Structure 1
Amino acid sequence: MDILQSQQSPAAGWAASATQPKSALASADFETFLKMLTVQMQNQDPMNPIDSADYAVQLATFSGVEQAVRTNQLLESLQTQFGVMGMAQLAGWVGQQARSGAPVYLDGEAIAISTNSHPVADRVVLVVKDAQGRLVAREDLAPSNDLYLWPGRDPAGAPLPVGNYSLALESYRGADLLASARAEHYAPIQEVRGGPEGVKIVLRGGIEVAATEVTALRAP
């Protein structure tokens, strides 16, 4: 009898996986393995018995798999605990203003943008695209470490519609493009959320950004 064959159908195995906790499944699998091993020993060819070393290899292999399953369960538990701890530590961020390269939510208020550019740039261009990726504005800025209050207007000076926009800074020296990067800006933090991908910061307009992508905080 082949020890690697299962007596359960795939559908039955999937149903068990969906309804039983992993610890129970690991225990049930181990019991099934021992039963199958016993049957294999009972039905072996007496003229050509299975080498005891083969049994040792099978036991060692299953033990390794079982340990890997338990290790994964422990890591999942630790990840959940770290996520809760991270949210507790970041709860004080709510109400503060976070600087990140996330899209901006424009609703008529000026956006505080960091104009950090390439060190040797003599000109910076703010590139604005709407939620569909269409270019809606380009604006020349002077290289500076100061914040620029972008009024959210198109090239004709008319206010842009309310919505989400992505901002980028292009650094030039003369006519040569040196670098292009997302423009960082400040936005108020409304909520902190945890999930499978880690702790997320929710900014105005429902824009989410990973906590690890926040580069600065300031009071409102």
Structure 2
Amino acid sequence: MSIVASPTTLTPASSASQISNPNNTISQDGFLKILIAQLQNQDPSNPLSSDKFITENTQFAQLQQLTNMNTALKNLQNQNQSNSYAASLLGKNIMTNSAAVTVNGASVSPVGYSLAQNAADVQATIVDSNGNTIVTQDLGPQNAGTNAFQWNGRGVNGNYISNGTYTVEFSATDSNGKPIPISQSAGTVTGVQFTSNGAVLTTNLGETVNLSNVVGVSS
């Protein structure tokens, strides 16, 4: 196939471009652009033959398959690394980026929290998805370390609230009324499940936590 000459001619790659692409490789997008340019600029009196067109399309298909295979292998590698990390958390205490409880009738999932020191008073406030306070419970004095909070699923009027997921906000003070650092703890990891959406951790407090929600780990 002959190509009609155009005002712009291609020149050999400069040394700088050769350094940035030492293997003279071409991306899938680049290959497609070259093929389109070849078709647009072919000589009408000597068009691209069908056998050459099939050959170049075959090369493009092979390139696309190799690209897809490379992407699949990378995803598999990332998933294996994630699963390995999740398995390494067995027996470790994990911190989450939020403390959430799931209400299903009279059944309410527990939630954990961790105190940096003994607290004279701890309070747990239940908030719905719109930021409205449902109820605040006084948990009284609590020891330093990981503690569990089990809400009964009732609002201020004593009635069970609607099923769903709610956020728990904790606050703690010492004997002088000064705030104590408190973090969200999901407890100690006792099991790991590998799902299509990623690893899910189970803790001794009965919580299930997605690996992506883990923000801290301690032994």
Higher helix share: 1
- What is the TM-score with the length of structure 1 in the denominator? 0.49
- What is the TM-score with the length of structure 2 in the denominator? 0.49
